[in-house]
Structure 1
Amino acid sequence: MEVRGEILFIILGAALVTFIPRALPLVVLSRIQIPEWGMRWLKYVPISVMAALVGQELLLNDGQFTPISQNMELWAALPTFIVAILTRSLLGAVLVGILSLMALRFLF
């Protein structure tokens, strides 16, 4: 099997572009002391990212706001959130979410 030069450069470029955003913050942040307020702030970044992704998926359909009465995903999310809060179980929340959406799609 022959590897052309262009393909090799594309693969190496993709690897570099993937590696730099992961390694650069690690190298820079390992050499400095982050203040306590910065560490508290950084704790909320994963939660904020997840909330933005889930919120967009639940409230928008093709970039347009979906009315609550027509939004099956939002209705399925309600029991899912309740189970997630009460049990703190990822597996339980995923199962309830899948089953809720399946039931709603079957009924409507």
Structure 2
Amino acid sequence: MSMATSDILLTLAGMALVTYGPRVALWLGNGGGFPPRLRRMLEYVPVAVLSAIVFPIALLHDDKLYLSIHNAYLAGAVAAGLIVWRSKHLLAGIGGGLIVYVAWRLLLS
């Protein structure tokens, strides 16, 4: 079943609104109208969204769990996660994960 272009655009707009709407409201309102607990919870939205994008790509192939030595996506994601965890530098993690992904594809594919 394929979605029409208008359905895809509407879905993307809704996702953007749900993801960034609360953040924009916090920024415009200086966060004063939101309880501190809600503000703390909203700090985890980017991590949750990124996880929802990355995990299926890194862990699934043909809708099945793919934990193989040949899974370059998983190798790159694990490398990026470890680099960011240890260095606390997002750009280093992205670059390192990309290097591991490309090397994995070249060496094992």
User: Which of the five TM-score ranges fits, normalised by the shorter chain?
Assistant: 0.5 to 0.7
The equivalent of 1:38 in structure 2 is 38
**Higher helix share goes to which structure?**
1
Offset at 1:63?
3.1
Question: CA separation in 2, counterparts of 1:95 and 1:46?
Answer: 19
Q: 1:4-59: per-residue Cα shift (whole Å, max 9, x none)?
A: xxxxxxxxxx8xxx5xx48x7657x84x8222222222121111111111112211
Kindly state the Cα deviation for residue 74 of structure 1 after the two structures are TM-superposed: 0.8
Question: Which residue in the other structure is 1:10 paired with?
Answer: none
Matches within 5 A, 1:8-87: 21=17, 30=29, 33-87=33-87
Kindly provide the amino acid, as one letter, of the partner of residue 80 in structure 1: A
**Higher Rg of the two aligned structures:** 1
Secondary structure class of the residue paired with 1:34: coil
Give unpaired runs (5+ residues) of structure 1: 1-13
Gaps of 5+ in 2: 1-8
2:101 is matched by which residue type in structure 1?
L
Amino acid at match of 1:94: I
Q: CA RMSD in A?
A: 3.1
Shift of 1:90: 2.5
1:94 counterpart residue number = 94
Amino-acid identity (%)? 26
Q: TM-score, normalised by structure 1?
A: 0.61
